[in-house]
Amino acid sequence: MEFLGVDIGGSGMKGAVVDVSQGTLRSERIRIETPCPSTPDNMAKALYELTKKLNWSGPIGCGFPAIVRHGVALSASNIDKSWIGQNIETLFSETTGLPVMALNDADAAGYAEMTFGAGKGQRGTVLLITIGSGIGTALFVNGHDVPNTEFGHLLLHGDIAERYVSNSARKRLELSWEKWGKRFNEYLQHLERLLSPDLYILGGGISKDFEAYSQYLEVEAPIVPAQMLNNAGIVGAACYAQRRLEGSL
């Protein structure tokens, strides 16, 4: 069964047709720059363009970089503030003429990793952390998602953690892997005191550099890099759309 999965981020909007029974891509992966300003209308037009490029006319699952409650964006950390209060599903469905189901982008990546990747078959408490322009988190308890955890906005050194440990912060401050790894370890230790997870999965573009910083991470639970790499958000969004349409969520 095929669904279009779309992963919307602060810098790029990526999409592909996904075989949701295998967790694999069935089309090329298309990336469009996130429009600037990243207003609802501009992003809806970009999504429409993406569906046209892929010649898609079925349901769409959409990972979105904000708190998403019943289809509505409730925050806007790395996108235009005018998103707050906007119904993503209604706007995107109207613009594309296709059914759209939206969820937080980290939760989407979590669905993919828990179904096909590093968290497959894992019971207990699993915390997936996506490291990119922001920090996204997905918490799974015995395989069930607790949506919109937003642990990237926990306070660390008097500011939200993502300003201190995101990949953007690493690049902006030109931190070595050692410096960044030690910072990230502080963040992990904070999370460990709060949640005592059984497993951490690190996702986002930086998961491919895991070997460069893993030696600086010291927490009780095992830490593994995400396995679906750049496709987790796309695959997970498609899986979410399937589950919503089936009525299993």
Rounded to the nearest 5°, which phi and psi values hold at 247? 85, 15
Residue 54 contacts ligand BGC per CB under 6 A: no
Note the residue count of the chain.
Answer: 249
Q: What are the residues whose beta carbons fall under 8 Å from the beta carbon of 123, sequence distance 6 or more?
A: 142, 143, 198
66 sits near ligand BGC (criterion: CB under 6 A) = yes
Enumerate residues 82-111 that contact ligand BGC by CB under 6 A. 104-106
Q: How far apart are CA 157 and CA 244, in angstroms?
A: 39
Query: Residue 11 or residue 27: which is nearer to ligand BGC going by CB?
Result: 11
Over the window 8 to 47, marking each residue x when it contacts ligand BGC by CB under 6 A and - when it does not, the resulting string is -x--------------------------------------
**Interface stretch with ligand BGC, choices 31-39, 80-88, 128-136, 237-245 (CB under 6 A):** 128-136
Find the binding residues for ligand BGC in span 135-164 (CB under 6 A).
136, 150, 152, 162
| Position 7 contacts ligand BGC (CB under 6 A) | no
**E strand or H helix at 12:** strand 12-19
Q: Which stretch binds ligand BGC (CB under 6 A): 43-51, 75-83, 92-100, 224-232?
A: 75-83
- How far is the C-alpha of 10 from the C-alpha of 70, rounded, in Å? 21
Enumerate the H helices of the chain as residue ranges.
Answer: 40-53, 88-96, 105-116, 161-165, 167-172, 177-195, 210-213, 232-246
Q: How far is the CB of 68 from ligand BGC (least distance, A)?
A: 8
- Looking up tokens 């980290």, which residue turns up? 106
Question: Would you tell me which residues interact with ligand BGC (CB under 6 A)?
Answer: 9, 65-67, 75, 77-78, 104-106, 130, 132, 134, 136, 150, 152, 162
